[in-house]
Chain A
Amino acid sequence: MAEVPVPKEKWSGKIGTVALGATSEEGGTRSSRLVIGGGTGMPFLSYEGPTTHRPLIAGEVLDTVADLPDLVREEFGGAVDDPAEWAKAWVERHGADLVCLKLRSTGPEEGDRPPEEAAKTVLRVLQAVSVPLIVYGSGHEEKDAKVLEAVSNIAPKERLLLGHAEESAYKSVSAAAMANDHAVISFANLDVNLSKQINILLTDFGVRKDRIVLDPLFAALGMGLEYSYSVMERIRLAALMGDAMLQVPMVCDTSSAWKAKEASEEIEGHDGLEERAAWWEATTAFAALMAGADLLIMRSPRSAGIAKRAMRSLMEVD
């Protein structure tokens, strides 16, 4: 038989790991600590290095459901009216590895809920589920500074993952994370150099590298996915080739898939909106995984189920 050599690359770098959540041993209340990252090759190529930490899926929970698509709302039944119930549904019914709570209602134009109240929502979710938690503010710079500070203080030592820090605004979020040993999401806009830049800023500011997860912005299927896909491949390659400032795990939020027309509107002459929509987010997630995602934030349990099964088949585990 012909001998086909294995074209294993000799990568000089590897992706660092980040631990999320803290058990009682570490001073928190989570039932287990989850670790992401650690990749030593391109995604899912077992001959380049085993996938020691499989990518995780975080179920998205919002504290206001104003623009939640009906199809998703139906998947959760009545649970979406209460973030704690919603989080529980994700974990108990849909097998989410962790929960991502977005405190939308703190936005000045979306209810302007005070930081203390938002922090209480975080506590209630922490009590409802025992998995680690990702927490986002509303994206409003000044308000997020206060909201995330309150969140950080109300759950010290829980090792939350706080989102997000970007070039124009990273100090307050980073400070909130560092104060109580939480981790932080560094966000950059679809660009390898900007991704590196924000990680440099964060580490210079004092954030430990094993507390940083990079969000390079994953554009949804049909909405610029190809840009994100290639930027992530380039980030992963640069990291493996030794660029220390890019050697952090990556997180992709695929909930934006629901903004695509094809996922939200009937198409004349073609039925199956429900199935198409589920595949829209699943396809977005699958592409993110192939491009190097270590953590996915997903909106629909149906889509998350598909993504999870794809991942298992890629790793041949159950």
Chain B
Amino acid sequence: MPTAIEIFKHLPKKNCGKCNYPTCLAFAMQLANSKAKLDDCPFVSEQARAALAASSAPPIRLVRFGSGARVIELGDETELYRHEKRFFHPTAFTVVVPDSLAPSEAGRRAKEIAAVRFERVGQALSFDAVCIRDVSGDAARFASAAEAVGSSVDLPLVLSSGSPERMRQAAMKVIQRRPLLHGANAQNLVPMAALAKELSCPLALMQNGLGEMADLVAQARAAGVEDLVMDFRTSGLKDQLESSTVARKHSVKKTYRGLGYPILVEAGKGEDGILRGMLAVMKYGGLVLFEEISEAQALPLFVLRQNIYTDPQVPIQVKPGMYPVNGAKEDSPILFTTNFSLTYFTVLADIEKSKAPAWLLVVDSEGLSVMTAFSAGKLTPEIVAKALESSGAREKSRSGILVMPGMVSRMSGKLQEATGLKVIVGPKESSGLPKFMKGL
């Protein structure tokens, strides 16, 4: 949203009061706070209306591709650094399937990509889209690869070809999926943009150089395509970092408006490819295309994205309460931990490994880990005692045993007093639980 002063510049300055505010400035201030509607002033010109619409547009356009429940949203970011608020739309990861593969092979490959899946702190981590690439130069081949991949997986699709004609034929096969067309360059812009407009698909522009990219953006917009993605065809990490940073900074600071679109990074493969993908996660990449990436490389990449895109104000948390593990019964012991997701899922996995029935009491530590919560006074004997009461723990488990994290053994005495239970100090790391539970 523009500031009150920016809005004020575009108002008629009659101070007539028809908007129900005494002055145009007062009205502008209400508008800036979204407490009034521009329509309430009968005198705003069309020009002013357009100017205000443009300056209240998000600094980076929100671009969607895919269909139904499988839609990827790119862009609409507002910050340069995550601590300023947060990053909103996690970098999407795509793996390329070349049309040199026979259609059945291409379909199988796409299924493999879709099947890569990890669970971590209660979230599923996986690839987001599949890219079918025209390497054969054969329209029929590219189209059947697209069709085969489209019918094998329900992930959003990216079509990659420099030929508008071959692009059209492939796109027609999967048009109901609203694929991203990758892409247009300085040579094919006119027909490619016409195609994107006709099919109403988003279009990726491929061009190295900021000024050159801005030109291409302007041309595509003039041709009526607004859903754009920028692929800077960068030569290495330095080029990628700098072009992405310049585009992002200008957009969010509104110092230059011609590059306000999500960024696509063609990562390639090997070590360099993974590094490019990781850089995209940290520095402003919206969509990454990998030619090849192993599962062993994918997990650190996924976790980096999970880390960078968490909301700095709210740690990932789980609901406090009393949870049965391994078929806990009345005589099973209670173990307690905090409600920081990372802590909870780590401990849960280790109790499960022990196969011993137990109750896991998750104490509300406002999303802090054990040691952090302890240092911050968010994990005290009183808080644990309260959690025992509010979760009905004493009714669920009559074992009379409470196992505590070894790291906070310092509070064991007080804890015993506060709860009246037999407090047992557990291992420092929950990885010691399988062994520990045997001896319990």
Contact = CB atoms under 8 A, between A and B. Distances in A.
A122 B364 CA distance: 46
B253 interface: yes
A230 B299 CA distance: 22
A46 B242 contact: yes
Nearest to B218: A2
Interface stretch (A16-24, A240-248, A273-281): A273-281
B349 to A, nearest CB: 8
Given A267-B118, A279-B300, A44 B238 contact: yes
A305 B72 CA distance: 35
Contacts of B212: 1
Contacts of A314: 237-238, 241
A61 to B, nearest CB: 24
A290 interface: yes
Contacts of A5: 250, 255-256
A6 B246 contact: yes
Given A290-B279, A290-B283, A313-B272, A275 B214 contact: no
Given A4-B246, A290-B282, A261 B238 contact: no
A272 B241 CA distance: 29
Contacts of A267: 118, 299
Contact of A3 (B81, B211, B242): B211
A306 B270 CA distance: 11
B274 interface: yes
B283 A2 contact: no
Nearest to A9: B249
A51 B82 CA distance: 23
Interface string B399-428: 000000000000000000000000000000
Contact of B282 (A4, A287, A313): A287
Contacts of B275: 286, 306, 309-310, 313
A2 B301 CA distance: 35
Contacts of A306: 271, 275
A139 to B, nearest CB: 15
Contacts of B210: 4
Interface residues of A, number: 46
A179 to B, nearest CB: 32
A206 interface: no
Interface in B59-112: 81-83
Interface in B245-279: 245-246, 249-250, 253, 255-256, 258-259, 271-272, 274-275, 278-279
A317 B215 CA distance: 31
Interface string B271-307: 1101100110011000000000011110111011011
B33 interface: no
Contacts of B271: 306, 309
B300 A276 contact: yes
Contacts of A57: none
Contact of A222 (B120, B218, B242): B120
A271 B304 contact: no
A4 B307 contact: no
Nearest to A5: B256
Contact of B214 (A4, A233, A274): A4
A4 B299 contact: no
A123 interface: no
Interface core residue of A47, A270, A313 (most chain B CB under 10 Å): A313
B224 interface: no
B83 A315 contact: no
Nearest to A44: B241
B82 A226 contact: yes
Contacts of B391: none
Interface in A263-318: 267, 270-276, 279-280, 282-283, 286-287, 290, 306, 309-310, 313-316
A19 B120 CA distance: 42
A44 B299 CA distance: 26
B287 to A, nearest CB: 19
A7 B238 contact: no
Contacts of B308: 226, 229
B295 A271 contact: yes
A106 to B, nearest CB: 21
Interface string A101-145: 000000000000000000000000000000000000000000000
B250 A313 contact: no
A221 interface: yes
Interface in B202-261: 210-212, 214-215, 218, 236-238, 241-242, 245-246, 249-250, 253, 255-256, 258-259
A4 B251 CA distance: 12
Nearest to A275: B296
Contacts of A287: 278, 282, 304
A2 B258 contact: yes
A46 B256 CA distance: 20
A68 interface: no
Given A226-B307, A280-B300, A313 B242 contact: no
Contacts of B274: 279
A1 B211 contact: yes
Contacts of B299: 262, 267, 270, 276
B304 A225 contact: yes
B304 A221 contact: yes
B312 A230 contact: yes
A222 B346 CA distance: 11
A279 to B, nearest CB: 4
A316 B431 CA distance: 43
A315 B237 CA distance: 8
A45 interface: yes
Interface of A: 1-7, 44-47, 221-226, 229-230, 233-234, 237, 261-262, 267, 270-276, 279-280, 282-283, 286-287, 290, 306, 309-310, 313-316
**Top 6 A-B pairs, shortest CB-CB distance:** A272-B296, A2-B214, A275-B296, A313-B237, A276-B296, A4-B210
29 contacts: A1-B211, A2-B214, A2-B215, A4-B210, A5-B255, A7-B255, A45-B241, A45-B245, A224-B369, A225-B304, A226-B308, A229-B282, A229-B307, A233-B81, A233-B82, A270-B296, A271-B295, A271-B296, A272-B295, A275-B296, A276-B297, A279-B297, A283-B301, A283-B304, A286-B275, A309-B272, A310-B237, A314-B238, A315-B238
Given A229-B282, A287-B282, 10 more contacts: A1-B212, A44-B241, A47-B242, A222-B303, A237-B81, A262-B300, A276-B299, A280-B300, A310-B237, A310-B275
